[in-house]
Chain A
Amino acid sequence: MERPAGKDRVLVEDALKLLIEDEQEGRPSSASALAGGLGLTREATDGVLHSLRGAGLLAPDGDPPRLTGDGRDYALQVLRAHRLFEAYLAQRTGLGEAAWHARAHVAEHRMTPEQVESIADELGHPPYDPHGDPIPTRRGELPPRRGRPLSERPAGWAGRIVHVEDEPPEIYRRLVRDGFAPDVRLRIEEAGETSFRVRIDGRSVDLPRDAARQVAADDLAAGERFDETITRLSDLAPGERAAVAGMSPLIRGLARSRLLDLGVVPGTVIEIDFASPAGDPVAYRIRGASIALRREQSDRILVRRVSGEAA
């Protein structure tokens, strides 16, 4: 497929991406919604739509704009580049969640198909991006979206997060801070009209309804039960001992392997050794060594309290 270059490429691809996202979410598309999404005037948007039609990416008839087969293929490849790049940033760099979207947004228009494939190879062809969004395959197949919004679940329901929407950024930052990420288990303690109270990683978190809507979750696997004994390493008091139960998926890439290599693996018994003058970081006794960890990390290390001597 012949691809446009430069600034045109950015506009064309952004428009395609917005249109395919509408299609996937089942939202109706319109030229005015597109203008809002692209941050353009109606006239400029019409210009973009015109060139899309000219390239055969959009059906020739007017509003609402509809993607052709070629348009859908192209759009899926842009989506693929964006989500793969986010997966790459998550796994291979120390960049935080908040920085991914903007960078992926730039990279998706710059990468050649070969570069996209090379990233896919390097990451082992992940089916989902770090938010839980499906990554279209090279042939444009899309793994199914999973789960239902948390806001539709009743009190007492326990499940597994499958997707966390990364826009709007303020809500996403808050969700990340509280530990929401694909694959995390949670239980709904209270489901109110305006807000939810959710048990996640050993803590109770209050969630406004509009934030709960951004999180999609599935039932737990057959036979799996929500583990009430889980707590966070950062909640450990001096003198207490705890065995590692696992790490939140929010500890990723290099940080995760570093911690694994230092002995933060399930079953390892940890206790507080001593705290720094400011109270953070804290040195933990891990397999015979003192390891200093910041609170951001000890918040995401899941443990179960144990009593007495280590096994």
Chain B
Amino acid sequence: MSAHAPEACAGCPLGKARLEKLGVATGAADHVVALAGNPNTGKTTVFNLLTGLRQHTGNWPGKTIARAEGGFVYAGARYKIVDLPGTYSLLSATPDEEVARDFILFGRPSVTVIVVDAARLERNLNLALQVMQITDRAVLCVNLIDEARAHGIEVDVRGLSRDLGIPVVATAARQGEGIDDLLREMHAVATGAFAGRPRRLAFDVPGLADSVRRLDRAIERSFPGVPNREWIALRLLEGDRKVIEAVRDGSLGELAADHAATGAG
């Protein structure tokens, strides 16, 4: 799938000239990458491949509750990458989902990579769409593309990217396939070279659309430029305490300012 694999390095799985694995020695990072995804999508394999670490996780949800962190250098920039717990959603109040959600919102990652299983795209896009409600600095990593092919499944990566409004990369992390593409797209989003315009969901739930719209305007007044107003509106309607606190003490505005600053640079 990796159409742009560098010919100079045909034998090695990665463009080693540009990727330097740092393991856990992250130091001061230029960019922070959050790695989100359903359980069983090979998320940890992607993490290990990028950092050179050997995290081992079982294949059931909730296994990694704490986040794993690692680092690498790509194109001269130091990256810190955080492996979030594998979750099906970000809406439930389970500890693993809270860890994942809070990091994407309050950890201010420069880019969030959403790892999905190519053979179970319909199921996995559920989480991807939820992440894209929170942040527009996202890259979709359609992993296990080799397995999908074995099942007779082809994913139209370009079409999906157009539909979603974020970069989409096909990978087979176990084979190292497509990782170079992933790094390039991550770098583009993290540095602001590529500004995604993620598809926002239509709120065609009766009674909900109207409420969200009204709150949306109020949020814009209080926090101009905050990128995820609809999502915040939804969380406020649900009574999410963390988000309510962030509105009350104004820290939500810092997120907005932060977003604007790195987005420009």
**So, do A and B actually touch in the complex, CB under 8 Å?**
yes
Q: Would A263 and B239 be within 8 Å (CB), given that A254-B94, A257-B89, A258-B92 are in contact? A: no
Could you tell me how many residues of chain A have their Cβ less than 8 Å away from some Cβ of chain B?
Answer: 15
Considering the complex of A and B, which 3 residue pairs feature the smallest CB-CB distances, nearest first?
A: A261-B89, A261-B88, A257-B92
Contact of B88 with A288 in the complex, beta carbons under 8 Å: no
Given the known A-B contacts A122-B239, A263-B126, are A257 and B119 also in contact in the complex, defined by CB atoms under 8 Å? Answer: no
- Minimum CB distance partner of B93 in chain A: A254
Chain B residues proximal to chain A, CB less than 8 Å: 87-89, 91-94, 119-120, 122-123, 126, 238-239, 241
Q: Which residue of A lies closest to B40 (CB)?
A: A289
Question: Closest CB of chain B to A115's CB: distance in Å?
Answer: 15
**Residue A124 lies at the interface, judged by CB distance under 8 Å to chain B:** yes
Min distance, Cβ A277 to any Cβ of chain B, angstroms: 20
Could you list 29 A-B pairs, sorted by A, with CB under 8 Å?
A: A92-B93, A121-B239, A122-B239, A122-B241, A124-B238, A254-B93, A254-B94, A257-B89, A257-B91, A257-B92, A257-B93, A258-B92, A258-B94, A260-B89, A260-B91, A261-B87, A261-B89, A261-B91, A262-B88, A263-B123, A263-B126, A287-B120, A287-B123, A288-B119, A288-B120, A288-B122, A288-B123, A289-B120, A289-B123
Find out whether the CB atom of A261 lies under 8 angstroms from the CB atom of B120. no
B239 partner, pick from A123, A254, A258, A261, beta carbons under 8 A: A123
A287 to chain B, nearest CB (A): 4
CA distance A262 to B239 in the complex (A): 23
* Interface SS, A side: helix
> Complex formed: what's the CA distance from A121 to B244 in Å?
11
Among residues of A, the one whose C-beta sits closest to the C-beta of B92 is: A257
Nearest CB in chain A: distance from B1 CB, A: 20
Please indicate the chain B residues that have their CB under 8 angstroms from the CB of A261 in the complex: 87-89, 91-92, 126
Interface set, chain A 235-292, CB cutoff 8 A to B: 254, 257-258, 260-263, 287-289
Name the B residues within 8 Å of A257 (CB-CB).
89, 91-93
> Which residues of chain A from 64 to 103 have any CB-CB distance to chain B below 8 Å in the complex?
92
Complex Cα distance, B93 from A277, in Å, reads 33
Contact between A254 and B123 (Cβ–Cβ < 8 Å)?
A: no
- With most chain A CB atoms within 10 A of its CB, the pick from B92, B94, B120 is B92
A279 vs B91: C-alpha distance in the bound complex, in angstroms?
32
Enumerate chain A residues within 8 angstroms of B87, measured Cβ to Cβ: 261
Query: Which chain A residue shows the least CB distance to B117?
Result: A288
